[in-house]
Each structure stands twice: as C-alpha cells, then as structure tokens.
C-alpha cells in the first residue's frame, strides 16, 4: 500500500535528516549531501530512502 511507503519514507528520513548539508551548486540532481560525520545507519537509510522516495507523489 502506498500509505505504508509514505510511513517508511518518514521513518527513514528521520534517521538521516540531521546530517543533511544543503548544496545548491551540485549538478547531479540532488541539492544536498550527507555530512562527513554521518553514521553508517544514516547513510544506509538515505540510500534506501532514495531507492523509492523520488517515485512517491507529493502529499497535497
């Protein structure tokens, strides 16, 4: 169910949100990267999040 994907996305995002560094000069389609002190758990959560989150429709 799509609702489950949104919940999963929220849970994963919570694991890496504190390590996001905004960078609007990047040209790879993402305007952020994870800080160098991000733990492996945050890195893994961000990878899993990005594997499906771009396909989710925005909640209106």
Per-residue pLDDT tens over the stretch 3-39: 788 999 999 999 999 999 999 888 877 899 999 999 9
Contact partners, residue 6, CB within 8 Å, separation at least 6: 56, 59
CA atoms of 9 and 43, how far apart (whole Å) = 14
What is the model's pTM? 0.82
Reported as a pLDDT band with limits 50, 70 and 90, residue 55 is confident
Model confidence at 47: pLDDT above 90: yes
Model confidence at 59: pLDDT above 90: no
């Amino acid at each position: 169910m799509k609702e489950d994907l949104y919940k999963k996305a929220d849970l994963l995002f919570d694991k890496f949100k504190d390590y996001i560094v905004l960078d609007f000069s990047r040209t790879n389609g993402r305007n952020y990267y994870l800080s160098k002190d991000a733990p492996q758990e945050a890195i893994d959560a961000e990878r899993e999040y990005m594997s499906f989150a771009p396909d989710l429709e925005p909640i209106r």
